[in-house]
Structure 1
Amino acid sequence: MTENHILDSATDRKNFGANTMQANIEIRHLRYFAALARELHFGRAADIIGISQAPYSQQIKQLEDRLGTRLFERTTRRVSLTEAGAKFLEYCDDILATLDEGVSHARAASSEEGGRLRVGAIRIAASYILPSVLRAFRRKYPAVIVEVFGMTTGLQLRKMEAGELDIALIRPASVPGSFKAELICEEGLCAALHKDHPLCQKTKLELADLDQQPMVLFKDTVGTDYSIALRAAIRKHDVSPNIIGEFTDTIGGVCLVGSGAGIAVLPESTRSSISQDVVYREINVPEVTAKLVMVRPDHSAGRKFDDFAALVTQACASTELWRAPPTPLDDINL
């Protein structure tokens, strides 16, 4: 087999890998070759591999014989790669890197570092918190398959009870006794208004501005903590909005506002929900915030679950990405 024939037949790495195995080339041959290609010195390469120079030289010669071409030029003073050797090194590096990655994943999959992690998340968590958490988690647990499910608070709790979720990121709600809930962050509130609403002319609203205004609220049955607190604050301050509709998630609230149904008071992160008919204003609702809670089994489910939870807590302690600036008045068509 000529040198040119070797180069022409190895046109892609997949076929090349198959051809090398058919030629009885073993993984040790590839590692020996790669060491010499890097060092270009038989003595140093043999030391790296951990064998004496004579059998090392024999293994390199055996590889060349099986390939049918010289990979190195040898003189009394120097060793250099031939053109075929330089090309072979490109493919050899890919094969060894793929093999090492496969070994790592196989070992991880058979240990605590493998398996599956099922995470439920409301929109703020899925949008602002989980992306960075997942990047960090994949670096530590490359073999773990993480499934993320965007769900409302109520649905996540039902899935947790059914054993279909491992971790839930929700608004505060009544949590079954077999789980523990940890407050991981909280955010302020904003008012969502239709772009034609007269209150859009104000840069900041007070709770009193809602008096006698058409308004939509979270359904009581959802049990969202800030929604319950908002209703209590409205009663405490003798504000009487005209409640004309309810919704079960923030997207539903934005949809109702965009239709002109009324004003909604929503978590500040809702500002990132873009609707051509909806604008957002800061609103002062004393002592009311929207909290985010992480729910887990009340016992440790394993190291990877604990590490994932720790990454979530760290991300929440450092992020304020959802704190979008208020919509400038100049951007609104009044």
Structure 2
Amino acid sequence: MELRHLRYFVTVAEELNFSKAALRLHTAQPSLSQQIKDLEKRLGIQLFNRTKRKVELTTEGESFLPYAQSTLLQADLTIQKTQKVANELSNCLSISFGPVAELKIFPNILPSLRFDYPDLKLNLQSMNEIQQQKALESGQIDIGFVRENLTGPDLRSSLLFREKLIFLLPKTHPLCRYECIPIRELDHEALIIASPEHAPTLHRSVMHFSKQHNIKFNFIQHAGNILFNINSVNMGLGCAILPNYIEPMIKNHPNIAIRSLEVEPPLIDLFMSFNTKNNQKNIEIFINAIQNKKFQQHY
């Protein structure tokens, strides 16, 4: 038994006329009559009494009618709810991000995006660099803001900007006497460095900088996130080299100072990456919003 059989039965029961019911159902009367007979055979009961002058429900038919109507109503509601979910998914954009996007990208993009596309639902997920790459590759998210130029069969990336690294140290540190710290003064200084498991690009940049200039840092701690890095400096555990997006967070900080170095630390890139198999319409909307802002290439 199929839903169409129930729909045919309910329509005939409402009209009590096969010709009128056939018109409502946009089908031929002989075909409708055969469908009702097939339903009666399947159920093993007679649903209608038919004469040349009238059609009426049998007692069994009257009993069956409310259940058939309820089943059709439930089927219609199920279809509507499923279509609603599908429509919401088609209007959803999943975005992963790290702190830099939260501070430098979203405040410039999201307010106007919300205004221009009020039906677009944004699913924002905070992830570290490695988590973002895995989520992009699997299609779990549509867009990510990462430090690596991710490439692959389904991945595309574009450079948003290059960011300076800054040197942080406790205000009580002896090196605070310098406005510009000589490189050789950094030898054997305690340094909190980003964890390679959570921020591999930043970790590699700092390691390459120290190797390039033969700086013998004392790496005392791997930090799993930026806040731990900052708090470690705040507690006087050591110094740190971090992207300059954190500068507003520590401006006028009572315990942390920023100093320039005799040799400029390297720049670190920020890319916007997306999965080409995901919802391209919504991805394109977001990319256009990013491009319209024209972020500075160097921060």
Q: TM-score range by the shorter chain?
A: 0.5 to 0.7
How much identity, in percent, do the aligned residues show? Answer: 20
Query: Residue in 2 aligned with 1:234?
Result: 210
**Does residue 288 of the first structure (1) align with residue 287 of the second (2)?**
no
Task: Report what 1:122 is aligned to.
Answer: 98
Residues 268 and 111 (structure 1), Cα distance of their counterparts in 2 relative to 1, 3 Å cut: same
| 1:118–1:147 Cα contact (<8 Å) kept | yes
Tell whether the 8 Å contact from 1:189 to 1:268 is kept in structure 2 after alignment: yes
- Taking the aligned partners of 1:137 and 1:161, their CA distance within structure 2 comes to 25
What is the DSSP-based 3-state SS (H/G/I as helix, E as strand, rest coil) of the residue aligned with 2:140? coil
Deviation for aligned residue 1:174: 5.8
1:136-175 alignment runs, 5 A limit = 136-172=112-148
Q: CA RMSD in A?
A: 2.9
Query: Could you report, residue by residue, the CA deviation over 1:281-305 in whole angstroms, capped at 9, with x for unpaired residues?
Result: 2335547112111110145732221
1-side partners of 2:228 and 2:293: how far apart? 27
Residue pairs, 1:1-334, within 5 angstroms: 115-172=91-148, 177-222=153-198, 224-274=200-250, 275-283=253-261, 285-286=263-264, 288-298=266-276, 301-315=279-293, 317-318=295-296
CA positional deviation for 1:148: 1.9
Change (3 A) 1:158 1:110: closer
TM-score (norm 1): 0.57
CA distance in 1, matches of 2:275, 2:90: 19
- The alignment partner of 1:260 has SS state of coil
Please say if residues 165 and 267 of structure 2, whose CA atoms lie closer than 8 Å, have aligned partners that are also in contact.
yes
Question: TM-score, length-normalised on structure 2?
Answer: 0.63
Aligned length, in residue pairs: 214
How many Å separate the matches in 2 of 1:126 and 1:283?
A: 27
Task: Give the drift of 1:176.
Answer: 5.2
Is contact 1:189–1:289 with CA below 8 Å preserved after alignment? yes
Q: Structure 1: state its 5+ residue gaps.
A: 1-108, 324-334
Measure, in 2, the Cα distance between the counterparts of 1:111 and 1:298: 20
Q: Secondary structure, in 3 states, of the residue corresponding to 2:197?
A: helix
Distance 2:272 2:262 in 1: 27
Counterpart of 2:257, as a letter, is V
Q: Is the 1:121–1:169 Cα contact (8 Å) retained in structure 2?
A: yes
How much does 1:116 deviate? 0.8
**1:209 maps to amino acid:** E
- Larger-gyration structure (1/2): 2
Which amino acid counterpart does residue 135 of structure 1 have in structure 2? P
Please tell me whether the aligned partners of residues 129 and 315 of structure 1 are also in contact (alpha carbons under 8 angstroms): no
